[in-house]
Amino acid sequence: MLRLFQLPRAWGIANISPPCAKLEAWLRLCKIPYDIGPLDLSAAPKGKLPYVQDDSETMGDATLLIDTLKARYQVDPDAQLTPEQRAIGVAFRRMLKEDFYWAVVYFRWRLAGNFAVMERTFVEFLPQELPMAARLQFVEGVKANLLAQLQQQGMGRHTPHEVASLGIADLQAVADFLNDKPYFFGQEPTSIDATVFAALTNVIDAPIASPLKVFAAAQPNLVAYTRRLEQQLFPELAAAR
């Protein structure tokens, strides 16, 4: 059986890592059976989560994995999409992954109040037998790594106000395109819904104060969509909400 390696569940959402939430949502959408492996970043082929082991092969990157697993498991929720829809899907996926993701990281790790939430959460992910000082030091390392990535990527060079305006523009684009459709491309869910759901639940349902959350939570279609996808793909989380 396919084994999925990701961050442990927290905050009552699919995963506090958007790429991890996206891959697990997609596996569930496609009804591909899987189990969850232990948290072990050292075995990640690309040094990032999520990754999977399947047929003794270890493979990383949520986006690449979706393409690989489509072929391997002969499933394709996107089979009926038109070329235009596919093009739109690629553009939204890249926007959420390469731009919006970094706005989310910024508000989580750069603002002191939110970092305290991240610290508490990550300390719980680490082996409880490790002394608290060592766990806190590890989380400081995660923070330093992410702040360096934010700087290199570019989002970290902006003020909170500027990051908010960039991230809200992404959310507005999703809200406008989704409009009153139940799923991103209409009546049936497709792969892009895993990506959009993962991004939205990580803002709307995360205990992280930010202008992104204020904006997204005020868009009735984004909230209804997030609840719909959660109910469909993670009913155990919806039931606990």
Q: Which residues bind ligand GSH (CB under 6 A)?
A: 17, 19, 47-50, 61-63, 145
Indicate the DSSP class of residue 190: -
What angle do helix axes 132-153 and 101-109 make, rounded to 10 degrees? 140
Residue 111 C-beta: closest distance to ligand GSH, Å: 18
Strands 2-5 vs 34-36: parallel, antiparallel or unpaired = parallel
Provide the minimum distance between the beta carbon of 187 and ligand GSH in the complex, in angstroms, as a whole number. Answer: 27
**Closer residue to ligand GSH, CB minimum distance, 66 or 81:** 66
Specify the residue, 61 or 78, whose C-beta has the smaller distance to ligand GSH.
Answer: 61
Least separation in angstroms between CB 218 and ligand GSH = 26
Determine if residue 13 is left, alpha or beta; phi over 0 gives left, psi from -120 to 50 gives alpha, anything else beta.
Answer: beta
d(C-alpha 232, C-alpha 217), whole Å: 20
CB 62 → ligand GSH: shortest distance, Å?
4
Output 49 or 168, the one with its CB closest to ligand GSH: 49
In the bound complex, what is the minimum distance in angstroms from residue 135's beta carbon to ligand GSH?
17
Question: Peptide bond before 50: cis, by omega within 30 degrees of 0?
Answer: yes
179: left (phi over 0), alpha (psi -120 to 50) or beta: left
Output the six-digit token pair for 3: 């084994």
Alpha-carbon separation of residue 226 from 129, 174, 232 (angstroms): 36, 12, 10
What distance in Å separates the CA atoms of residue 158 and residue 241, rounded to the nearest whole number? 34
CB 240, min distance to ligand GSH, A: 23
